[in-house]
């Protein structure tokens, strides 16, 4: 199958649309570790498929001395219990002294944290450092 030929301007719009769809749909994570603070920025939707990627990132940083785990969730649009499980896993893997900060979670994700009682074990903040 060959792609239908489009005028260049249509082709450009098509490519931009594709990129936009990928950007909003796919889960992405960036992580930086500095001064015993691990900052992970999560984008997209966190389900049982993408939770594997999240968990792998946690495993990568778990052998370093980490005091605080900062999760920037401003761009995260969805989180299932698979995501909650990785939060629980982080604490169990890195250690009970680990402080977990969740930066700017969307309202519906805060609902999930509240309903499941996890908001007592994490600190929800507008920015980090607080």
Contacts with another protein by CB under 8 A lie at 25, 45, 47-49, 78, 80-82, 84-85, 87-92, 96, 100, 108, 111-112, 115-118, 120-122
Contact 84, 112 (CB under 8 A): yes
Rounded distance, CA 13 to CA 24, Å? 16
Output 97 or 129, the one with its CB closest to another protein. 97
Output 9 or 77, the one with its CB closest to another protein. 77
Backbone CA torsion sign across 31, 82, 73, 94: negative
Output 52 or 60, the one with its CB closest to another protein. 52
């Amino acid at each position: 199958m060959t792609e239908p030929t489009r005028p260049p301007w249509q082709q450009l719009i098509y490519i931009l649309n594709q990129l936009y769809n990928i950007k909003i749909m796919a889960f992405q994570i960036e992580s930086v570790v500095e001064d015993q603070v691990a900052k992970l920025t999560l984008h997209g939707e966190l389900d049982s498929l993408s939770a594997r990627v999240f968990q792998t990132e946690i495993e990568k940083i778990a052998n370093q001395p980490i005091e605080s785990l900062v999760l920037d969730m401003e761009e995260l649009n969805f989180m299932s219990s698979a995501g909650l499980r990785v939060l629980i896993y982080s604490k169990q893997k890195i250690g009970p002294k680990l402080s977990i900060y969740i930066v700017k979670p969307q309202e519906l994700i805060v609902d999930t944290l509240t309903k499941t009682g996890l908001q007592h074990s994490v600190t929800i903040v507008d920015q980090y450092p607080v």
